[in-house]
Amino acid sequence: MYQLVRSFLFGMDPEVAHERTIELLKRVDNTPGGKTLLRSIYGFRDERLETTLWGIRFPNPVGLAAGFDKNAEVFHALAALGFGFVEVGTITPLAQPGNEKPRLFRLPQHLAIINRMGFNNHGAYAASQNLIDYRYAEIPIGINIGKNKTTPNDEAAGDYVKCMNTLYPYGHYVVINISSPNTPNLRDLQETESLRELLKAVKGKAKELELRGVEAKPILLKVAPDMADEQMRDVVQAAVEEGVSGIIATNTTLSREAVEGDPLAAEAGGLSGKPLVERSTAWVREIYQEVGDKVPIIGVGGIFSGEDAYRKIRAGASLVQVYTGLVYQGPGIARQINKQLLRLLERDGFTHIKQAVGVDAR
């Protein structure tokens, strides 16, 4: 059925198709029995896939990455699609329109997407109003935060602190996004000293809010795939030393090596999808070898199947996220991956998903 729906959606401009999808999910959310129907079709539960991290129970390891539900508008409906968790955002302190259109491109031949959205969102306050009932989502909700485009890097920490001040009371975990290629100079914040300053400011705000009675949340860092080995090690080491609770590896890539010859390859922006699967899995492995079990890793990049997810888990990811796979595979992707993961666990003699984490990286 989704192949028919996909043909219809792929006949539209990609951003229009995304907006239509969000509107449809809103209708489902507001229709009595709508989420129950979705859950009956796409839901999937099995104790062998349940994972507890940071004191949070994830019903399965397959989440939806940030970028789909930018304004935290449809996470309830998304929870009914069988995901183990959903990450909303990226959210900035002030609303901003993002980069000029067109800014989203499909590369179907490569099962890939190029985007240069530029953190288009309604701002932290609007998102906070949508997140008031986040505890009723039945799965963990993450909040991905970033800086406004017009904020210079030497003031960037202030933007993240503003987001924390507004959004920290909501959601189950927070992600510091300094790895998008679509906000000018954002990735410069991965430089070690800038990163340490930023993380100290964010952690300080979290502590202040906790002293006022806000529940403590794990704070994760999302990293880019386009760093040299030494820089990645420095970033990860700095993050661990500053008390980050987890690493998300990785964001989109600026590399076009895997899509050379495609007429859209020259479009500026971050490349996601199948071409990123090897690179992101390699980074998961290297980061796991650097931090071991001390800091959990969420693996993201090019996941379309249970085998893709399983390779990241065996490389060291405790959880995984999809995005481009949802666009090409449809709303059944989480159920499909989870069923395949169970078969792979049985094949390898594992009785729980935790047993597979990092076995190829040790």
> Which uninterrupted H or E stretch holds 327?
helix 324-329
Of 142, 224, 219, the C-alpha closest to 185 is 224
Tokens coding 241: 């030393």
Please state, in angstroms and as integers, the Cα–Cα distance from residue 233 to each residue in 59, 66, 133, 157, 245, following that order. Answer: 31, 24, 38, 22, 16
Between CA 316 and CA 305 the distance in angstroms is 17
Please state, in angstroms and as integers, the Cα–Cα distance from residue 345 to each residue in 33, 260, 288, 310, 351, following that order. Answer: 34, 36, 20, 9, 7
Between CA 145 and CA 58 the distance in angstroms is 21
Q: Maximum distance among all alpha carbons in the chain?
A: 56
3 state SS of 201: helix
The answer to whether the beta carbons of residues 235 and 196 sit under 8 Å apart is no
179 is catalytic: no
3 state SS of 120: coil
Among residues 7, 128, 179, 180, the one annotated as catalytic is: 180
Catalytic annotation, residues? 180
